[in-house]
Amino acid sequence: MRQRRGLLLASLALAGLLLGLPHSAPLFHLGFPELDRPLYLQDSFAALALAHLEIVALSSALALLLGGGAGLCASRPSGREFLPLLESVLSIAQSFPPVAVLAVTVPLLGFGELPALAALTLYSLLPITHATLAGLASVPREMRDVAAGMGMSRRQILLRVELPLAAPVILAGVRGAVVINIGTAALASTVGAKTLGLPIIVGLSGFNTAYVIQGALPVALLAVVADQLFQWLGDRLAPQHQPAANSASASANP
């Protein structure tokens, strides 16, 4: 109930901010009287927020597909020998700053959303892959033994036992990656992608602090909304699978 209330309040605050910013010129005139144009008017804040969300959603989905798949393969007996190599590659990839990845990918992919998607996806792989590995490793061995004793195939054990029990841990990794991506996606505007980073970059280049604030506030609230949403989803997942875990454990230890 508390998480639902927090999610609702954060969502209302974000919606109110996006709707109110276009009409906030008098407020910013008071706060920054030295500025001739204290309100960012080049783009709609709502449109920028939707474009920002689109880049974050696509990059996070790609990272979940690639990172989750890699973690799943490395957790299987046939793929465990590749686990050290996978962790080394991901750690190296994570060490590159997003700006550096953007600088490398722009000559290859051009300006726009594609280099931003590549950078954000690469930056999200490590936490999602680690969460997938940790979640699958946290499934008790006796749970798999019980499922195998019931005649389940390896595929059925994975889909019906391992992944549902590992889901809260994997979701926690996705949660962290999405929240980081929301903040990092603002950098995508440096390569021509439309995000909430546009007012920030224009403000920094023009020494306009009001623009920076108008871009930073929605990004911060968007991260809060995403964090609350994943917290709510995590709380909904955990109670559903805990009884199953207890039941299977009891069956394994009569």
- CB neighbours of residue 5 within 10 Å: 11
Query: How far apart (Å, rounded) are the C-alpha atoms in residues 23 and 214?
Result: 12
pLDDT of residue 235: 83
**Selection from 174, 220, 177, 178 nearest residue 197 by Cα:** 220
Mean pLDDT of the chain: 85
Q: Average pLDDT for residues 199-210, to the nearest whole number? A: 92
pLDDT of residue 26: 92
Query: How far apart (Å, rounded) are the C-alpha atoms in residues 136 and 152?
Result: 17
Query: How far apart (Å, rounded) are the C-alpha atoms in residues 74 and 200?
Result: 40
The pLDDT of residue 239 is above 60 = no
pLDDT in tens, 132-141: 999 998 888 8
pLDDT in tens, 149-165: 888 888 888 888 899 99
Pair 54, 182: CB distance under 8 Å = no
pLDDT of residue 19: 93
Q: How big is the chain by its Cα radius of gyration, in Å?
A: 22
Look at 12 and 251; give whichever has higher pLDDT.
12
Query: How far apart (Å, rounded) are the C-alpha atoms in residues 139 and 165?
Result: 6
Instruction: Report the range of poorest mean pLDDT among 14-23, 109-118, 170-179, 237-246.
Output: 237-246
pLDDT of residue 1: 67
Domain ranges of the chain: 44-252
pLDDT in tens, 53-107: 999 999 999 999 999 999 899 888 877 788 888 888 877 777 777 777 787 888 8
pTM: 0.83
Please name the residue ranges forming H helices in the chain: 2-20, 25-31, 45-75, 83-95, 98-109, 113-137, 141-149, 154-157, 163-184, 197-205, 209-252
CATH superfamily of 44-252: MetI-like (1.10.3720.10)
